[in-house]
Structure 1
Amino acid sequence: MKIKVTVIVQKEENWYVAKCIENNVASQGKTIEESIENLREALELYFEDETPEISDIPTFVTTMEVAL
């Protein structure tokens, strides 16, 4: 079985942190690709004993500016 998840990658100091929005599982790596691959492994372990809830509701991700 395969599912699609939404992932955000952010640079924090010398690491890239990849986080799954649907369940807050996160991992890190020295490169974007490494952080995503590490997150994939973390998610596979997370779902190993749990059946994911599959939602057909589309996710909309955007950025916005906030006046300070």
Structure 2
Amino acid sequence: MKQILQFSISKSDTYYVAEAIDLPVVTQAQTFEELISNIKEAVEVYLHDESAEETGIVNNPSLLVNFEIPAYA
């Protein structure tokens, strides 16, 4: 069973966007703190009606985020 869910985070001009690597979960927010809260809520909604056996994910998994930082020359 998965204990860690990975998210890739990028930032546009106005929003942070988080996309799950292994789940069909995407969310956005104007601040990073708000984004983390939205990720937790989106995962809860996704897992709400599913059993751990169906998803292969433990209850209350840890979140691992990869943040994309643009390279400036």
Aligned length: 54
Task: Give TM-score scaled by structure 1 length.
Answer: 0.66
**Would you tell me which structure has more strand in proportion to its own residues?**
2
Please, what TM-score do these two structures have when normalized by structure 2?
Answer: 0.62
User: Which structure carries more helix by proportion?
Assistant: 2
The runs of at least 4 consecutive aligned structure 1 residues that moved more than 2 Å come to none
Q: Work out whether residues 20 and 26 of structure 1, in 8 Å CA contact, stay in contact via their aligned partners in 2.
A: yes
Q: CA RMSD in A?
A: 2.0
The gaps in structure 1 that reach 5 residues or longer are 55-60, 62-68
Identity of aligned residues (%): 36
- Write the mapping of 1:1-68 to structure 2, written as runs, cut at 5 A: 3-51=3-51, 52-54=55-57
